[in-house]
Amino acid sequence: MKKIVYLVLAVAFSLSLAVGLSACSALDGGGLIGKIFGQSASNTESASNIESASNIQSASNIESASNSESAINTESASNIEFVTITYQSEYGEKYDEITVEKNSAVKLKTQVRLGYTFKGWNINGDILQGDKTISVHSDMTARAIWEINTYTISYELNGGALENAKTEFTINDLPLTLGFPVGKTENQSFLKWNTDQGGNDEISQIGNKQSDLKDYSLYAFYEDSANLLSYRYNADKQGYEVIGYTGNAKSVTIPSSYRNINVKSIGCNAFYECCSLINVVIPNSVASIDNCAFLYCGSLTSVVIPDNITSIGAYAFYGCSSLTSVTVGNSVVSIEINAFWKCPKLKTVYVKSENVANSKITDLFDYAQTVYIAKDISLTNPLFSVVMKKQSDTPVTVDGVEYYEYKLRA
């Protein structure tokens, strides 16, 4: 019963309070009570605005500080100075250029040149040896200093002889074709050079690669050509003629006699397609080279026709595609058709024969770019003068003979 009474009283109190507040509000018309509650809302909004303004100001300060720092960095970078290092060869040719910060320490580039030893730098007249680290204060030029390397050749000739043997060389001499020694007897023909005594490492030329730049010891090997050259007696020529060769020598020395009788000629097809033959030594006893004697000797590089030879047959050196120079002796009267045809590398010719120099039919000069005419020859062939131009009235001396030099007209 008491609980019911208390409940009724509580409800009544709540209703009275609500009615009272409503009445006050109506009487106040939004005055005091509205102000109380409105001021609270206003204070809340003001606090929010203050905090927002504070945040904006803080962001502005951060941005300002950032811009100031960027300006400082930009100004600092613009104050850095740079200088240029120009690299030159020993001849003053520019081959590289770099830009570095002024007053910085720079190690000059190490230089490599085939066949030379790098000695240092010439910097504005000052010599710096080897690789150096230097402080660079202004633009500068570094010119390389080189020393050319010299290499040696020693020969073991095994009883033979080698004229004008080259015992030293530099990279400027390369490629270097090795000479051909003469055996201690006429029947010994040079076979090959080797870099070891066992004969297993053949060499004929020193190239210009890094691996070729070194000192050499060379060993000469020969073959006995007595049984490799074949002969036939020619009654008309009153002597023997060479009619065949079955060896593989690079240089063949033809004997001046066979069975104590002079060798008088090199017969037809005697060295036909002898592909290993690079050099041939013809004795003064020989008077003629017959037709096709050296036909298609594709490795033959030079020929000296002795002064006793009077005739060179047709197709004698036809197809010798490696032939670069020929010396014609002073007794040669005739050179037959196509004797030197298909020899596209035959660029240099030495002529001691007046008959050959004035010949209108020889193909000896067809590929020539430089012709040397013996000083005592009188030229009467106008065709030669049209094709070739004399270079000087001062003769040049080659192997003890004075020649006038003529070159192909442009």
pLDDT confidence of residue 319: 97
Instruction: Give the three-class secondary structure for 405.
Output: strand
Asked if the model's pLDDT at residue 28 lies above 50, the reply is: no
Mean pLDDT of 170-176: 95
If one compares 57 and 270, the residue with the highest pLDDT of the two is 270
Ranked by mean pLDDT, which of 11-25, 188-202, 395-409 comes out on top?
A: 395-409
DSSP letter at 407 equals E
The pLDDT value given to residue 124 = 80
For the domain spanning 82-148, the CATH number is 2.60.40.4270
Task: Provide mean pLDDT across the span 141-160.
Answer: 94
Q: Encoding tokens for residue 14?
A: 């709540």
d(CA 372, CA 399): 12
Assess whether the region 82-148 and the region 228-408 belong to the same CATH fold: no
**What does the pLDDT average to over 271-277?**
95
Q: What is the mean pLDDT of the chain?
A: 83
pLDDT in tens, 325-373: 999 999 999 999 999 999 999 999 999 999 999 987 778 988 999 999 9
Pair of tokens at residue 332 = 């040669």
**pLDDT at residue 14 in the model:** 45
Handedness of CA 266, 268, 270, 272 (dihedral sign): positive
Residues with Cβ within 8 Å of residue 44, at least 6 apart in sequence: none
Q: Which residue has the higher pLDDT, 217 or 65?
A: 217
pLDDT at residue 29 in the model: 45
Q: Over the stretch 228-262, which tens digit does the pLDDT of each residue have?
A: 999 999 988 899 999 999 999 999 999 999 999 99
Q: What is the pTM of this model?
A: 0.65
Task: Please indicate whether residue 69 or residue 333 has the higher confidence score (pLDDT).
Answer: 333
DSSP-derived secondary structure letter, 108: P
CA distances from 88 to 111, 145, 208 (A): 11, 10, 24
pLDDT at 73: 52
Q: Is pLDDT at 221 greater than 80 in this prediction?
A: yes
The pLDDT of residue 25 is above 60: no
Selected residue with higher pLDDT from 360 and 105: 105
Q: How far apart are CA 212 and CA 297, in angstroms?
A: 28
Give the start-to-end residue ranges of the domains of the chain: 35-79, 82-148, 151-220, 228-408
CATH class given for the domain over 228-408: alpha beta
Residue 226 pLDDT = 79
